[in-house]
A = this chain, B = another copy of it.
Amino acid sequence: MTTPDWRDLGLTGLLSSADSVLIPLHVSPDGDSVGSALAMAAACRHLGSRATVVSSDPPPETYRFLAGWEDIRRPEDLSPPFDLLLLLDCSSLSRTGRVRELFDTSGLPLVVTIDHHRKGERIGDYVWVDPAAAATAEMVFDWISDAGLPLEADVASALYTGIATDTGFFAYPNASAGTFDRAAALVRRGAVPDRIYRKISEDRPLQEIRILGRALEKLQVEAGGLLAWTALTREDMLEKAAGPDDTEGIVNRLRSIAANEVAILLVQTDSGHVKISFRSRKKVDVSELAGEFGGGGHARAAGATVAGNVDEVTREVLAAALSRLPQTEGDHRS
């Protein structure tokens, strides 16, 4: 996977030549998806193109503070043709969800892909992939800077949001010196770090805090602390008025417990299914564990959804997890 020089390949030329550019968010859009898309839409307008941002899923309320959020459209409100499809932060066309239904595959317009994910099935007349980038927003920032396009405070906020969220606010291993350089430049262009942090991390729904309380109240540890888990029943979810989105942060909180190696959250969903989230720190490959239950993911973060009752599923999952823990339980520090 090489990183082409867009100046040679003419990304600016491609975008300028398109009258109408469609920019999909990916499914379950995150801050990098939203921030990169809003920034590229602004850049397209500077190049004289009409850009439309579209989202298969409802655009997340968390990012409502970003300029342009209100203009994000749903696929059902749009009709082709578009001159150019700009895939940002999408490792494949299917990541655009229902947006791809706007086109039959033979009828795709010009396609440009800009992405930082390591693996994927990229399509495109122009494909720029840089797995060393912490966020697609870093790539967009570099291109806007090198292309000499205007970068207003609103765009700086969108790009800072993409970088900050994809690095866990500068806490993940992908936060590099270059990430901080870009953050500094974006702050100088008008991004306000504390405002963006507050918009994203505060103003949390009451039910999210309540269901976190219930989950931690029911927290169990096994194997001398190596395994931490909690399971939420349908009654827990109803009592706290919580939906699936409200439980997203819980498993990371379990993982933060000293001595923890594997953290597991089980949630009984509406549909008679149990959603399982796995995290690990150093030794256990939880993608293999999730694979036993028909799911998948990464070595340190994975998930699965299985049919059944949370109590039964919990027993099976705990047995599988315990069998994968390091044998030297007394010697788990490193």
Asked if residues B193 and A187 are in contact (CB atoms below 8 Å), the reply is no
Q: Does A210 contact B (CB under 8 A)?
A: yes
* Chain B nearest CB, measured from A160 CB (Å): 10
Given contacts A184-B177, A184-B184, contact A171 B201 (CB under 8 A): yes
For the complex, give the distance between the alpha carbons of A171 and B195 in Å.
8
Q: Does A119 contact B (CB under 8 A)?
A: no
Please tell me the number of chain A residues within 8 Å of chain B, measured between CB atoms. Answer: 48
For the complex, give the distance between the alpha carbons of A184 and B179 in Å.
8
For the complex, give the distance between the alpha carbons of A197 and B197 in Å.
16
Q: Does A214 contact B (CB under 8 A)?
A: yes
Per a CB cutoff under 8 Å, which of B180, B202, B212, B221 touches A187?
Answer: B180
Q: Does A147 contact B (CB under 8 A)?
A: no
- A216 contacts across to B, CB distance below 8 A: 209-210, 212-214, 216-217
Q: Does A170 contact B (CB under 8 A)?
A: yes
Asked if residues B201 and A256 are in contact (CB atoms below 8 Å), the reply is yes
Q: Which residues between 127 and 148 of chain A lie within 8 Å of chain B, taking CB atoms?
A: none
- A258 contacts across to B, CB distance below 8 A: 202-206
Majority-rule SS of A interface residues: helix
A156-194 contact mask (Cβ, 8 Å, vs B): 1 or 0: 000000001000111111011111110111011000011
Q: Does A255 contact B (CB under 8 A)?
A: yes
For the complex, give the distance between the alpha carbons of A185 and B225 in Å.
37
Query: Told that A203-B256, A206-B221, A213-B217 touch, could you supply 4 new A-B pairs with CB distance under 8 A?
Result: A170-B183, A171-B197, A181-B184, A213-B216
Task: List 30 A-B residue pairs with CB atoms under 8 Å apart, sorted by A's residue number.
Answer: A169-B171, A170-B170, A170-B193, A170-B197, A171-B193, A171-B194, A171-B197, A175-B193, A177-B184, A177-B185, A177-B187, A179-B184, A180-B180, A180-B181, A181-B181, A203-B258, A205-B257, A205-B258, A209-B216, A209-B254, A209-B256, A209-B257, A210-B216, A212-B213, A212-B216, A213-B213, A213-B215, A213-B219, A216-B217, A217-B217
